[in-house]
Amino acid sequence: MAQTQILNRRIRSIKNAKQITKAMEVVAASRMRRVQTAVGYSRTYAEMAASIIRRVAPSEEAKHHPYFKKVSDPKRLYIIFTSDRGLAGAFNSNIISTATRSFVEDMASGKSPSVVVFGRKGARFFAKLEDIDLIGNYEDVADSPEANVFGSVLETIDSGLASGQFNTVNLIYTEFVSTLNQRIRNDQLLPISLSEQESTQLKIVFEFEPSMEEVLEEAIRLYFESQLIGARTESAASEYAMRMIAMGNANRNAGDIIDGLTLELNATRQAAITQEIAEITGGASAIAG
């Protein structure tokens, strides 16, 4: 009897957990579909901003701008997108592994990497590392497309470039390819560079108003903003996809455990009934004898 009570408690406990993971799977699926739409818009926005950059890049003003200036000895700032919540499979661990490998490469050449991180999980991890300079962290922005944090990041970049703290900026995030396929990206964001072919094709004379300098600054702001918005939406869609898959796997595993415990419970009950019958039969035989 005690064994059946233990098994019943375990089954009830796992059923309760299964209800929670099922609800989390449904919520993640709903949010992923919503963010997928934003991913499409952000890619269009990024391409538009990149096309403007391609037009202004050949100008003399761009050649002397710190965001376009080529460097021979890179000192890097990493802008990293993680999540605020867990239970999303290997989403955060994949990003952190990619980032730490890059840190090790930088430190091997005697450089201390600077870091700006989005997401509570990444902020807590990178805050523990002694050999990096965590100069900014932002939380609870994945679900807020209107969050105005990128201006602050741009100010951080301007300040770091001016002081010589870093001269290169890399963007590390998870690209959403499909529900079942996500890819870690470690892209150079600054200096902004064009391929040799693009530079040759774009040597066309444009007239800019009100001035080339003002157009260039606005183009850079749009380009930078589009890259961060894209990284944020891609990361959010990837996070929800991986959480949906993780919770789906948890549901199936819980179902398998419940099935196994139910079989064990039935076998225990059957054994108890058989034992009772044997005891009754034995008692009757003793009385008859």
**Over residues 239-262, mean pLDDT:** 93
Say yes or no: 12 and 62 in one domain: no
Say yes or no: 159 and 199 in one domain: yes
Peptide bond into 191 cis (omega under 30): yes
Say yes or no: 262 and 204 in one domain: no
Say yes or no: 107 and 195 in one domain: yes
Domain of residue 17 covers 2-21+250-274
The structural domain count of the chain equals 2
Beta bridge partners of 190: 169
**Residue 96 pLDDT:** 96
Say yes or no: 16 and 27 in one domain: no
**Residue 221 pLDDT:** 87
Say yes or no: 164 and 258 in one domain: no
- pTM summary value: 0.84
**Residue 288 pLDDT:** 66
Whether 185 maps to a domain, the answer reads yes
Distance CA 167, CA 280 (A): 87
The DSSP code for 68 is: T
Lowest mean pLDDT among 42-56, 86-100, 183-197: 183-197
Buried b / exposed e along 111-140 (16+ C-beta atoms within 10 A): eebbbbbbbbbbbebbeeeeebebbbbbbe
Q: What is the phi/psi pair of residue 81, to 5°? A: -110, 115
* H-helix segments, 64-211: 91-108, 120-126, 150-163, 196-201
Whether 97 and 149 have beta carbons less than 8 Å apart is answered as no
Task: Please check the confidence at residue 240 and state whether its pLDDT lies above 50.
Answer: yes
141-156 pLDDT tens trace: 765 544 567 888 888 9
Three-state DSSP at 51 gives: helix
The residues, any chain, with a CB within 8 Å of residue 48's CB and separated by 6 or more, are: 226
Q: What CATH number is attached to the domain comprising 176?
A: 3.40.1380.10
Whether 6 maps to a domain, the answer reads yes
Average pLDDT, the chain: 86
Whether 162 maps to a domain, the answer reads yes
Say yes or no: 94 and 229 in one domain: yes
Whether 119 maps to a domain, the answer reads yes
Distance CA 262, CA 256 (A): 10
Amino acid at position 45, single letter? Y
Task: Please check the confidence at residue 205 and state whether its pLDDT lies above 70.
Answer: no
Say yes or no: 150 and 228 in one domain: yes
pLDDT band at 197 (very low <50, low <70, confident <90, very high): very low
Number of H helices, E strands in the chain: 7, 5
